[in-house]
Amino acid sequence: MPTRGARFLREQGIAFELHRYEHAKKGAAYASQAIGFSLERTVKMLVVELSGNEDILVLMPGNADLDLKKLAKELSVKRASMADQHTAERVTGYLIGGISPFGTKKTMRVVVEEGLLGHDKVAVNAGARGVMAVLSPHDIVQSVNAVPLAVGTQ
């Protein structure tokens, strides 16, 4: 059964490959190992709350951390903080460990760490725990109108 994220990609006409794995624990490192994909090309999805009461999605390489101060500065807001689990699941319509930028319940702004654009393919959650889509990061940017920014640290 296709996930909501996979249906979104098909409707957009975007080429991708689905990889399924046993979801024994959440996290990009586990997903990366499970599908045999390098961690720097495996995307972790973060839901961030901005001052002004806006929730956004941030796509980060699995081997990098998000610099919340840098993100706030880049987006010209006072502060940015990680959303709690309840908020992340409510605004995306996905469970933690299965959050995808595709087919979210609520339309949200999306930021992608610009370093991801240096890869030909990346793996990103397709909308369910244990289901990853491998596709061009440029197709991700185009399909969800993502803004590339340098907001990561390693």
User: In the chain, how many domains are there?
Assistant: 1
Burial class (CB in 10 A: 0-12, 13-18, 19+), 7: middle
Domain housing 145: 4-153
> Which tens digits make up the pLDDT trace of 59-117?
999 999 999 999 999 999 999 999 999 999 999 999 999 999 999 998 999 999 999 99
Output the six-digit token pair for 45.
């999805």
pLDDT category at 1 given cuts 50, 70, 90 is low
Q: What pTM value is reported for the model?
A: 0.94
Look at residue 99 and give its three-state secondary structure.
coil
Q: How far apart are CA 91 and CA 106, in angstroms?
A: 6
